[in-house]
């Protein structure tokens, strides 16, 4: 088969881009299409994609203008409908806010749309920018989004098959597109188990007195979050909790809200920016737990990745997080978006006896093992074998 992979944009590196990287590993000869491509914006991950043959849209080739997608998103239909996929047997789109599932394919080409989420700004979910507070932008956005919703729905009929990255996303696909979808959870990059629960860790934790708590583990004195620094991620909740509870918190990631978040951070909060996978692995291995406060996250790759390193996850009960975080088993869920409920869960974690804390770490690791790249590859290939007919 001649295969094409279509991705919204390559101007940042997050969970959706990790899915694309894995798809490229599965289909190494596949051509890659995207709206805009900025290799330098991928930071520490640019070497992964640097050698790919990437076809950029006409919009992405226009200097300066290609940075202003949000105000120019009325061009979305023109961007995706400009590509020609007639030479391909199979096209897999990796679609989210930029709606690349709206590409046009014709028989006998098969189009499988892998949906990270329907565009949040079209359906009332929180976005990176609170654009509604500016009256002129609100009027412009409301009118524009009305027509884009129509196009989004009409173009949703084009894909032959849908894959959702979670049950939460599947429900949204059924609600907004009236299409059925198969759930194939995204791949998560986790290390071998021997790296996580080493003999040193296993021998030390049970060796604590049974009444000792996790907070006495001096090797795990900080918490971590990995996130785009954008409004819908609510990293400010984590920072305020760290300030109030004198909690050591390391933040991995960058984004448009970084300046503001730095301004409210106390002395116990450290911003690490973009780090390499090797550096991130080292931070994971020494952290006590992973904190997450994103609203309506469809799946949440970062929390599962952290669980792969044996970290319990304390997350806001929203979106698809209850699909992976089981309260009291591999972490905790808090149900009010404020520092106090989060601090309560942190205290609960820190009061665990050492053996219970270790059991939670092992449960976290076991959860993550359900989402390996190998399992993703197997399910994708099975799906294609079932639905592709030469």
Tokens of 102: 């709206």
pTM of the shown model: 0.86
pLDDT at 193 over 60: yes
Tokens of 49: 């994609």
What CA–CA distance (Å, rounded) separates 372 from 365?
A: 11
In the three-class reduction of DSSP (H, G, I as helix; E, B as strand; rest coil), residue 215 is classed as helix
What CA–CA distance (Å, rounded) separates 8 from 36?
A: 8
- Provide the sign of the torsion angle of the four alpha carbons 377, 166, 232, 98, taken in this order: positive
Average pLDDT (302-312) is: 95
Query: Quick one: 213 and 183 in the same domain?
Result: no
Query: Quick one: 170 and 226 in the same domain?
Result: no
Query: Quick one: 168 and 140 in the same domain?
Result: yes
Which of 301, 305, 345, 306 shows the shortest CA–CA distance to 321? 301
Query: Quick one: 199 and 152 in the same domain?
Result: no
What CA–CA distance (Å, rounded) separates 316 from 314?
A: 7
pLDDT at 33 over 50: yes
Query: Quick one: 275 and 162 in the same domain?
Result: no
Average pLDDT (158-166) is: 97
CA distance readout (Å), 133 to 138, 139, 230? 7, 10, 16
Share of the chain above pLDDT 70, in %: 90
Domain boundaries, position 90:
3-187+372-387
Residue 39 pLDDT grade (very low, low, confident, very high; cuts 50, 70, 90): confident
DSSP 8-state symbol, 319: T
Query: Quick one: 167 and 100 in the same domain?
Result: yes
Average pLDDT (158-162) is: 97
What CA–CA distance (Å, rounded) separates 84 from 57?
A: 11
Query: Quick one: 255 and 301 in the same domain?
Result: yes
Angle at 107 between CA 103 and CA 111, to 5 degrees: 40
Query: Quick one: 259 and 113 in the same domain?
Result: no
Residue-wise pLDDT for 215-257, tens only, equals 445 456 899 999 989 888 999 999 999 999 999 999 999 888 9
Q: In the predicted model, what is the mean pLDDT of the chain?
A: 89
More confident residue, 234 or 199: 234
CA atoms within 13 Å, Cβ hemisphere of 116: 25
Compute φ and ψ for 138, nearest 5 degrees: -60, -45
Total domains in the chain come to 2
User: What CATH number did the domain enclosing 69 receive?
Assistant: 3.40.50.2000
Query: Quick one: 297 and 238 in the same domain?
Result: yes
Other Cβ atoms within 10 Å of 13 Cβ, number: 21
Query: Quick one: 160 and 209 in the same domain?
Result: no
Residue-wise pLDDT for 270-304, tens only, equals 999 988 888 999 999 999 999 999 999 999 999 99
Query: Quick one: 280 and 176 in the same domain?
Result: no
Query: Quick one: 211 and 160 in the same domain?
Result: no
Q: Out of 65-74, 176-185, 357-366, pick the least confident.
A: 65-74
């Amino acid at each position: 088969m001649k295969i094409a992979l279509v991705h919204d944009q390559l101007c940042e590196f997050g969970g959706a881009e990790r899915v694309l990287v894995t798809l490229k590993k599965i289909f190494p000869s596949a051509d890659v299409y995207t709206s805009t491509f900025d290799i330098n914006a991928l930071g520490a991950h640019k070497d992964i994609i640097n050698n790919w043959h990437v076809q950029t849209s006409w919009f992405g080739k226009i200097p300066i203008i290609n940075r202003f997608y949000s105000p120019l998103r009325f061009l979305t239909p023109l961007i995706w409908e400009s590509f020609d996929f007639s030479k391909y047997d199979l096209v897999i789109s990796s679609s989210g806010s930029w709606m690349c599932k709206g590409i046009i394919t014709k028989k006998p080409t098969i189009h499988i749309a892998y949906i990270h989420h329907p565009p949040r700004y079209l359906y009332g979910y929180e976005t990176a920018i609170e654009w509604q507070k500016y009256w002129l932008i609100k009027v412009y956005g409301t009118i524009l989004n009305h027509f884009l919703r129509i196009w989004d729905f009409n173009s949703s009929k084009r894909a032959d098959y849908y894959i959702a990255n979670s049950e939460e996303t599947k429900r949204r696909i059924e609600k907004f597109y009236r299409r059925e979808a198969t759930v194939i959870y995204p791949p998560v990059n986790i290390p071998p188990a021997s790296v996580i629960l080493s003999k040193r860790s296993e021998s030390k934790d049970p060796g604590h007195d049974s009444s000792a708590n996790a907070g006495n583990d001096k090797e795990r004195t900080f918490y971590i979050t990995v996130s785009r620094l954008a409004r819908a991620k609510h990293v400010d909740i984590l920072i305020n909790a760290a300030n109030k509870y004198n909690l050591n918190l390391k933040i991995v990631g960058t984004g448009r809200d970084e300046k503001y978040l730095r301004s409210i951070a106390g002395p116990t909060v450290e911003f690490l920016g973009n780090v390499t996978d090797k550096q991130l692995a080292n931070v994971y291995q020494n952290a006590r737990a992973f904190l997450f406060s994103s609203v309506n996250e469809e799946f949440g790759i970062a929390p599962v990745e952290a669980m792969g390193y044996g970290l319990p996850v304390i997350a806001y009960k929203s979106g698809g997080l209850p699909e992976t975080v089981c309260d009291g088993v591999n972490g905790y869920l808090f149900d009010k978006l404020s520092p106090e409920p989060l601090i309560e869960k942190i205290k609960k974690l820190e009061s665990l006896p050492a053996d219970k804390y270790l059991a939670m770490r092992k449960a976290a690791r076991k959860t993550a093992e359900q989402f390996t790249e190998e399992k993703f590859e197997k399910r994708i290939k099975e799906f294609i074998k079932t639905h592709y007919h030469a």
